[in-house]
Amino acid sequence: QALLKEGVHASTRGATQSVMPVPAPSKPAAKKGAAPASTPAPPAPQSKGDCEDELPDDDLNPDEERRELTGLIVVKPENLSVDAGTDIILHAEVDSSQLTVKPSIKWFKGKWMELGTKSGVRFQFSELYDKEKKIYTYELKINKVVLGDSGGYRCEVSAKDKYDSFSFRIDVHGSVQEEKGSILESFKRTGDTKDDQAGELDFSALLKKREVEKKKKEEEGIEGIPPDVWEMLKNAKPSEYERIAFQYGVTDLRGMLKRLKKVKVVVKKSDAFTRKLDSCYQVDKGQRIKMFVEISNPDATVKWFRNGQEIKPSAKFVFENVGLKRILTINKCTLADDAAYECHCADEKCFTELFVREPPVLIEKPLDDQQVFVGDRLEMEVVVSEEGAQVMWMKDGVELTREETFKYRFKKDGKKHFLIINEATLEDTGRYKVMTNGGECEADVVVEEKQLEVLQGIADLTVKAAEQAVFKCEVSDEKVTGKWYRNGIEIRPSKRITMTHKGRIHMLVIDDVRPEDEADYTFIPDGYALSLSAKLNFLEVKIDYVPRQEPPKIHLDCSGDSHVNTIVVVAGNKLRLDVPITGEPAPTVQWYKNNKEFTDTEGRVRLEIKKELSSFVIEGAVRSDEANYNIVVTNPVGEDKATIIVKVVDVPDPPESVRITSVGEDWANVVWDPPKYNGGRPVTGYLIERKKKGSQRWMKMNFEVYPETTYESTKMIEGIMYEIRVFAVNDIGISQHGQTSKPFMPIAPTSAPQHLIVDDVTDTTCTLKWRPPDRIGAGGIDGYLIEYCVEGSSEWITANDQLVERCGYTVKGLPTGQKVTFRVRTVNIAGKSEPATLAQPVTIQEILEQPRIRLPRHLRQTYIKKVGEQINLLIPFQGKPRPKVTWLKDEKPLDLKEVNVRTSEMDTILFVRSAERSHSGKYTLSVQIENMVDEATVNIRVVEKAGPPVGVTVKEVWGFNALIEWQPPRDNGNSEITGYTIQKADKKTMEWFTVYEHNRQTRCTVSDLIMGNEYYFRIYSENVCGLSEVPGISKNTAYIQKTGLAYKPANFQEHDFSMAPKFLTPLVDRSVVAGYSTALNCAVRGHPKPQVTWMKNKIEIKDDPKYLMKHNQGVLTLNIRKPSPFDGGTYTCKAVNDLGEAEVDCQLEVRVPQ
């Protein structure tokens, strides 16, 4: 038994190894769930078709042969051999230390099938990252592997230009333990004893079981495919076969396809629908759409669904029942209605899709030009006409998308769309465009480096002991921080030293100044290569022995012998003039401003007198403080004087007279005058800004100071209104902007007019024609300017004082016989275009042209008009010089009292306000130039209604017929008689009836007259104007004689049709929507005719305008006008006659729209 078991084990392993390749001995056979094998048997020799699942050489990815492997995969997946139903995990580790971007991995089965989230829930993917080792770990987990998972696999790793790939195998086979058990349980011992040692082995049970399994496999078709998968394959599309086979582990695709071909799909005819929904519908946004089906059973309930959710009746969704049609109406469609719809009737369904098309999206508010600094947040906004519309952002013609760094962020808020750049860079400078399906707009964005401007520098200070020293500076950016240094060493705050930052002002305050505080102080803004320095001078007070009497002395640091000092102060800064004075006794101090004594001790400008020191203080210097200041000190011993010249410097005044001198297609020249006051410092240049009219964003045109007073602004959009302003700059700072220029539009003149030709020439005039220019531009065309030049002269003379709008003009007053050259220019807001000039000069001389009448086609035959209508004949003619025109009627001159004639250079008009028959005749038109003549003839006939026929007589009467004859009318209305209309009238009633119309002969036989009646006849004549006003009436009558008649009674018995009322068609229960009129119908039979009564909830309906009851040939109808929920209930129709009664009822449900 032990040998037998061992042999069975060996045979099983051998069978397994004969169909599956054994992995290399150096690697483990399986990571999880594999059976141990101490010494694997050598692989049996295999033929070419022994293993279909083995990965052949051609299964390798063709890209692997072309792309060089870079060794990214440091730990590679292992070959596995596992039992079916177990879980396996595959590991791959990737080294990213040499990579600049995150690597991506793909798992493949075979050569082309990529494993992903759509491969099924059995395949799970995970990813881990070790930051210290820079190793990515990727895992592929396959839950409960099946036989179909056997085969070759491949993992690919790529990162930009680096690539690596590795192939491995997974072998799945049935569990050995299960196979052992199934085989051993099939063995039976012969004999009845239960001892395992007794009896012999009986293999018959095993053979029978295998035969049963074989039959079962034949019935199922292919091993391993459950019945539910077969049903799924039968109902799936052919394009989905491979996905289903891979998901459920079907490996024999060829056998699966053969079996599917044998299955005949019988298309079941719909029992509920006679007409289903169309495959799809399309509607514009905001419009209404109707979808309908036709059902076979009118009483069946129909339900509608949108994306699987049942639709309830409402004002938006309206249900209608028209016969067998069931209609769904969707009002005011939105993008949310773009969905899949279903209609359910009984147990059947039909499907359709609705596509909602958006209208063109227009731009209501365009982009604005923007100017930002590097690192600032840039936000561009555009407003479109539709909410939720799709827009495309472009920069310099390239579409913008969300990059990996998420540099561009797109935001929607209703109709507003935003493009946001959190930190702008210099590369973001350019022209940005927004495009929709209905328009586009552009704007320029300029990103510049931050430039810090010093508005006020640090001034040197001289202070005494125990006084306060204040260093103050002002920069252009409020957010800039900085540090203070003393002799190059950073200053730390202390009790005596404080540093403050308020807005743009930075201050360093030193209290109780000491001698060691004398040094160089520097302020350095953070992030800028800029430093501001000043020196603190410590003034020591020295006490010297002075005699009792000493002449006064002013101690000023002046160059030369005279006490004259010039001090320059920036407007707005504080000026303090401390003048040390000595003398014994103490001298008297007097200050003079422009030789006028100044004595104020309070206010903005004041004096401060201290012992041995006189101070002149100006708080916030202004331009008027500029003057010569004199100080005079006197005592009994003597006198001393000093002069201080104070000059106040300021930013310059704004530039003046900013104006636009010329414009082009995308440029404009701006000119301005220098400021009247330069602020005490020479103007170093100008800054120019522009903006679109209506916008609030100004954009700088130059970043360096521009020295000239003329500037050309470029890169503008043609047709957009712009404004420009200019700032003046000197050493102190930037002025206020000058007066903004008048709005202007960059625009270019049009191209030259086209196809200039000569249309006509006379002795003194020339008529020109041309076509508009090929390129017009945004400025349009204001008009055309015509110029001419006489041969032998170089002067071009303007022919028209005012611009001509049409493409034609007649130049008058030209010299006869001279050769003249003509040219035409277009003029618009941008100026004159290039001229269009005739190739050759034109000789001003009348051209003789033979007269010719161009008679209209409708006048070449007789011209017919009715009496009272207008006659208006317009006949053009040709001829040069102007011909002589003559009209004749019947070879005689026209009577101008009856006919009006007006003649121009090119046509003549014959006009009659009210035509009469006397105006009929032959009219001859003659056009003559010298001895050349052309003539044309027009026949005019004026017609009216004809008179009545004469001599109307009844000639003969026989049977039911009468013969009438008459004579034509005496007056035919100047037109041919086209027919007659015959009418008859009974003498008793004298009501006239038409017998014949358009009868062309003067006789007529009237038939079907009634016996015993006497008839009159009248005749109307007819021509092109219609019937005559008065008929001709017969003088005699036609009498139809009676003949003998005998009544013969019927020799049969009439059928009795009497019956009690009976309803042939009953009332049907109805469900309607409130506010929509409805009708209840039924049919009844009965004789005598039954009396019908309608009731609601057993109460008779009487005289209610809401209800309309109809009875037509036994069909009974109750119309209910705009029912409300109150009108719901039980309606009954009752029919009663002498033989009995009958009634039917129904339920009416009135639904309120949701």
User: Can you give the pLDDT at residue 247?
Assistant: 77
Residue 688's identity, in one-letter code, is I
pLDDT of residue 831: 82
**What letter represents residue 115's amino acid?**
L
Number of H helices, E strands in the chain: 7, 89
| Residue 817: predicted pLDDT | 87
**Whole-number average pLDDT of the chain:** 82
Q: How far is the C-alpha of 181 from the C-alpha of 1095, rounded, in Å?
A: 82
Q: What pLDDT does 681 receive? A: 86
Convert the pLDDT of each residue in 749-762 to its tens digit.
Answer: 888 999 999 988 88
Q: What pLDDT shows up at residue 50?
A: 38
**pLDDT computed for residue 1047 by the predictor:** 65
Integer-rounded Cα Rg, in Å, for the chain is: 57
Q: What pLDDT does 44 receive? A: 38
Per-residue pLDDT tens digits for 646-701 = 888 888 999 999 999 888 888 889 999 999 888 888 999 999 999 999 888 999 98
Confidence bin at 600 (pLDDT 50/70/90): confident
* CA angle (1005 as vertex; 999, 1009 as ends), nearest 5: 120
Grade residue 777 by pLDDT with cuts at 50, 70 and 90. Answer: confident
State residue 249's pLDDT score: 74
pLDDT number for residue 269: 63
pLDDT confidence of residue 562: 55
pLDDT at 677: 87
Whole-number pLDDT of residue 563: 60
Q: How far apart are the C-alpha atoms of 734 and 671, rounded to whole Å?
A: 19
**CA dihedral defined by 835, 836, 842, 846, rounded to 10 degrees?**
-100
**Amino acid, single-letter form, for residue 906:** M
- What is the 3-state secondary structure of 142-211? ECCCCHHHCEEEEEEEEECCEEEEEEEEEEEECCHHHHHHHHHHHCEECCCCCCCCCCCEECHHHHHHHH
Whole-angstrom CA distances from 55 to 18, 51, 111 are 16, 9, 9
**C-alpha closest to that of 575 among 551, 599, 605:** 605
| CB contact at 8 A, 815 and 806 | no
- Write out pLDDT tens, residues 815-857: 988 899 999 999 987 788 899 999 899 988 887 788 999 999 9
Strand-pair category, 961-967 with 699-700 = unpaired
What is the mean pLDDT of the segment spanning 470-492?
89
Residue 1064 has pLDDT above 70, yes or no: yes
Angle between the 176-186 and 2-19 helix axes, to the nearest 10 degrees?
Answer: 130
Confidence of residue 558 (pLDDT cuts 50, 70, 90): low
- Which residues, 6 or more positions from 1147, have their beta carbon under 8 angstroms from its beta carbon? 1069, 1070, 1129, 1130, 1131
pLDDT of 865 strictly over 70 = yes
d(CA 1124, CA 373): 68
Per the document, the length of the chain is 1154
Reported as a pLDDT band with limits 50, 70 and 90, residue 39 is: very low
Task: Provide the pLDDT confidence category of residue 3 given band limits of 50, 70 and 90.
Answer: very low
Integer CA distances (angstroms), 474 to 8, 481, 501, 569, 617, in order: 99, 11, 10, 15, 21
What pLDDT band is residue 403 in, cutting at 50, 70 and 90? Answer: low
- From the list 500, 461, 455, 494, the residue with the least C-alpha distance to 482 is 500
The reported pLDDT for the residue numbered 1 is 35
Collapse the DSSP code of 276 into the 3-class scheme (helix H, G, I; strand E, B; otherwise coil) and give the result.
coil
* Band (1080; pLDDT cuts 50, 70, 90): very high
pLDDT band at 536 (very low <50, low <70, confident <90, very high): confident
- Among 1034, 917, 921, CA closest to 971: 917
Instruction: Work out the pLDDT band at 1153, boundaries 50, 70, 90.
Output: confident
215 pLDDT higher than 80: no
- Cα separation, 510 vs 495, whole angstroms: 9
Q: Is the pLDDT of residue 182 over 90?
A: no
Quickly state the pLDDT bin for 35 (edges 50, 70, 90).
Answer: very low
Answer for the pair 728, 703: CB distance below 8 angstroms, yes or no: no
| Residue from 47, 59, 61 nearest 18 by CA | 47
Query: Could you give the strand order of the β-sheet that contains 766-771, starting from the edge strand earlier in sequence?
Result: 754-761, 766-771, 808-811
In the chain, % helix, strand, coil (3-state, to 5) comes to: 10, 45, 45
Q: How confident is the model at residue 905 (pLDDT cuts 50, 70, 90)?
A: confident
Q: How confident is the model at residue 602 (pLDDT cuts 50, 70, 90)?
A: confident
Do 548 and 636 meet the contact criterion of CB atoms below 8 Å apart? no
Highest mean pLDDT among 192-196, 216-220, 572-576: 572-576
Reported as a pLDDT band with limits 50, 70 and 90, residue 12 is: very low
| Average of per-residue pLDDT across 733-743 | 88
pLDDT number for residue 820: 93
Model confidence pLDDT, tens digit, residues 934-987: 999 999 999 999 999 999 999 999 888 999 999 999 999 999 999 999 999 998
pLDDT tens by residue, 780-805: 888 999 999 999 898 999 999 899 99
Tell me if 960 sits within 8 A of 1009, measured CB to CB.
Answer: yes
Residue 45 in this model has a pLDDT that exceeds 70: no
CB 14 within 8 A of CB 44: yes
Euclidean distance between CA atoms 13 and 15, whole angstroms: 5
Report the predicted TM-score, pTM, of the whole model to 2 decimal places. Answer: 0.35
Whole-number pLDDT of residue 68: 60
Of the candidates 733, 738, 737, the residue with the CA atom closest to the CA atom of residue 572: 733
pLDDT in tens, 435-456: 988 889 999 999 887 777 888 8
Comparing 121-130, 935-944, 1093-1102, which segment has the lowest mean pLDDT?
121-130
Q: What's the longest Cα–Cα distance across the chain? A: 182
Is the confidence at residue 543, as pLDDT, over 60?
A: no
Q: Provide the pLDDT for residue 542.
A: 61
Q: Where are the alpha helices (DSSP H) in 348-459?
A: none
State the pLDDT at residue 599.
83
In this prediction, residues 337-358 reach a mean pLDDT of: 89
CA quadruple 1098, 1102, 1108, 1112: dihedral sign: positive
